[in-house]
A and B are shown apart, each in its own frame.
Chain A
């Protein structure tokens, strides 16, 4: 079959995509790698010089970098299970038979949080979680909770917004997985048992695994590069309570202007993301 298609045709179809990817993805990556091997400060361009792996060594031995990384994974470990749990619950509810119109409206409304720009979410958060005027404290009976100025509360606030914005995504992916379950198999299972857990575990879950793997990979990558919402909401503060890894890279690269060091941090982050994606695929991904 392959022999019947000429290489020119293949290149004609695939070439533009590869070319586009190379321009917008590979070239900047190669430039970042080149930059990471140099002393490259935007305000000291006369002093640009090749310094080998010195930037990488500085990153790997920088306590602040690993604290930011730890904080980021703590956010991932807190928010992702909540998103999967809530998303699965919503997906199972929407998978129930009947109430077609309501379910359609629910599915449509699930898109809204995802469609909200990250920066707007952050600005909304500033207003809603304001200690004195915010609606959140008002809804809590006029509570006087300092959300933005307290390290723990600020972290909780970030988790809340991340869960609010991305649970619908998880729900929609899992709902798509549930629709893949053959109707006759599910019906047969329901005749065998009344336990929803047994049906979920042995009938539905195998069909959900590819979607779950995608969710894990995408949400991990998204969390590792979470920036806009946190920047507009807390700017990494108070202290370093919400300084996640992408905020730290932005701070080093665009506020201290050390592009070399920031590029080394970004390359290390990329490597961690790729390794995690491979682990997820090996551990969770199974074709039904």
Chain B
């Protein structure tokens, strides 16, 4: 009986809240941070809801640890350049904010420290309740991992979702969103495009949006991809061409000038009721359901992205936080404490409630949350079977994405055919990969 009681008590303790668990291990954030009180860590944040959420929670961390977090805000388009220049110049940043397509670049340049190295160098600051297995494996590996090494912890996490206007769909006689991309184009497109309203908007501005949200989004569901197994262009394959031609056909159901639409314009068109459906990042949920920013807040419903002939293959994107190699020892420890806290199980619920999207599996097991946040079921489903190399994550992506952006937009404008554009992208992409040494065997074919 005593043994049973002991076992039950142990199990309860191990399943308990972070604080209790930590106390059970004799570990607390305040105690771990004592040697680093007064340290300031510098980090780049974006102007997005997930960052505002953690910023609002930050005073509690600073009060408990005495560590000051200096946030430098940049729009997404500037964030990579600012960080690269800082790391090259051995600047002030102590934490790297890493989009999943930057991870190969940052890791290969040794600008970031592997998590294992932090754990070995600073055992006293590792939260016993860190529980790396609680992160969605796809998200942890795609956002924070490179070549089987984990560098960053998933922080601002996205999956592509379909946001649809239930009222507009019902008015047109539909009782739910399209299951497939073909259905969206052939059935929903004609029925919903009329009187100055459009069935769909696919953000396609010539920046990372064109590569990630538009070009790649139509490649994968149709069985296409950027590269084949030998790292040669796969854009001329039948499947890739089918996806790209589909996008051209679908444009008749999108607003004019869709090539000038970034996230803001697309979300705004949906929020104003001008567009019935969009495929957007989960991060924009709070914008479209808030009556302050959305005229259709009561009509918004969320579904997984439609399926193509090759399956669902939703867009995958998001950011991890990693300790910067250039930080000194105290800053590295303080940086880790902040990263660990910001991505912890204990804070996941509050982060979600404040507008962030955590990558902790445990938080989504709360059924009450799924009722409040309609995007959760679709998000969880998307993170079960995504494509980590949705956009290749190697160091050459910044060069390749520029090529995709230029020629992908030209395709949409009809300045070149999908074949001509794909041929041009493929040739230029292979030149970049060749000069990087992928074809000589100098670099492993990792993406």
Contact = CB atoms under 8 A, between A and B. Distances in A.
Interface of A: 42-45, 64, 131-132, 146, 148-151, 154, 234-240, 243, 251, 254-258
Considering residues A43, A236, A243, A254, which has the most beta carbons from chain B within 10 angstroms of its beta carbon? A43
A175 B413 CA distance: 44
Given A43-B105, A43-B395, A239 B413 contact: yes
B290 interface: no
Interface in B217-264: 256-261
Contacts of B84: 42-43, 257
Given A146-B257, A239-B415, 11 more contacts: A42-B85, A149-B257, A149-B260, A237-B206, A237-B259, A238-B206, A239-B259, A239-B406, A239-B410, A239-B413, A256-B398
B47 interface: no
Contacts of A240: 406, 409-410
Contacts of A151: 413, 415
B205 A235 contact: yes
Contact of A256 (B85, B256, B402, B413): B402
B92 to A, nearest CB: 17
Contact of A255 (B85, B398, B409): B398
Contacts, number: 72
21 contacts: A42-B84, A43-B109, A45-B109, A132-B274, A148-B257, A149-B256, A149-B261, A151-B415, A235-B205, A236-B206, A237-B259, A239-B259, A239-B410, A243-B406, A255-B402, A256-B398, A256-B399, A256-B402, A257-B398, A257-B399, A258-B399
A240 B412 CA distance: 12
B418 to A, nearest CB: 14
B20 to A, nearest CB: 45
B207 A238 contact: no
Contacts of A251: 402
A45 B415 contact: no
A131 B81 contact: no
Contacts of A254: 81
B205 A237 contact: yes
B88 interface: yes
B399 A149 contact: no
Nearest to A254: B81
A239 B409 contact: yes
Interface of B: 80-81, 84-85, 88, 105, 109, 205-207, 256-261, 274, 395, 398-399, 402, 406, 409-410, 413, 415
Contacts of B207: 235
B260 A148 contact: yes
Contact of B256 (A44, A45, A131, A258): A131
Contacts of B415: 151, 239
Top 10 A-B pairs, shortest CB-CB distance: A149-B257, A149-B260, A237-B206, A146-B257, A238-B259, A256-B399, A148-B260, A239-B409, A146-B256, A239-B410
Contacts of A131: 256-257
Contacts of B206: 235-239
Contacts of A150: 256-257
Contact of A149 (B85, B258, B402): B258
Nearest to B85: A42
A158 to B, nearest CB: 14
B277 to A, nearest CB: 19
Contacts of A255: 80-81, 398, 402
Contacts of B205: 235, 237
Contacts of B256: 131, 146, 149-150
Contact of A44 (B85, B258, B395): B395
A117 B274 CA distance: 33
B405 to A, nearest CB: 9
A40 B345 CA distance: 43
Nearest to A131: B257
A255 B402 CA distance: 8
Contacts of B105: 43
A43 B84 CA distance: 7
B207 to A, nearest CB: 6
A154 B259 CA distance: 12
B210 to A, nearest CB: 9
Contacts of A42: 84-85, 88
A78 to B, nearest CB: 20
A208 to B, nearest CB: 41
B87 to A, nearest CB: 9
Contacts of A148: 257, 260
A44 B109 CA distance: 7
Contacts of B88: 42, 45
Nearest to B81: A254
Considering residues B85, B105, B109, B413, which has the most beta carbons from chain A within 10 angstroms of its beta carbon? B413
Nearest to B416: A239
A256 B413 CA distance: 24
B33 to A, nearest CB: 33
A256 B206 CA distance: 14
A235 B206 CA distance: 8
Considering residues B81, B256, B260, B399, which has the most beta carbons from chain A within 10 angstroms of its beta carbon? B260
Nearest to B258: A149
B409 A238 contact: yes
Contacts of A257: 81, 84, 398-399
A256 B402 CA distance: 7
Nearest to A148: B260
A255 B231 CA distance: 23
A236 B406 CA distance: 10
Nearest to A46: B109
B398 A237 contact: no
B79 to A, nearest CB: 12
Contacts of B410: 239-240
Contacts of B398: 43, 255-257
Nearest to A149: B257
Nearest to A44: B395
Contacts of B109: 43, 45
A244 B400 CA distance: 20
B293 to A, nearest CB: 15
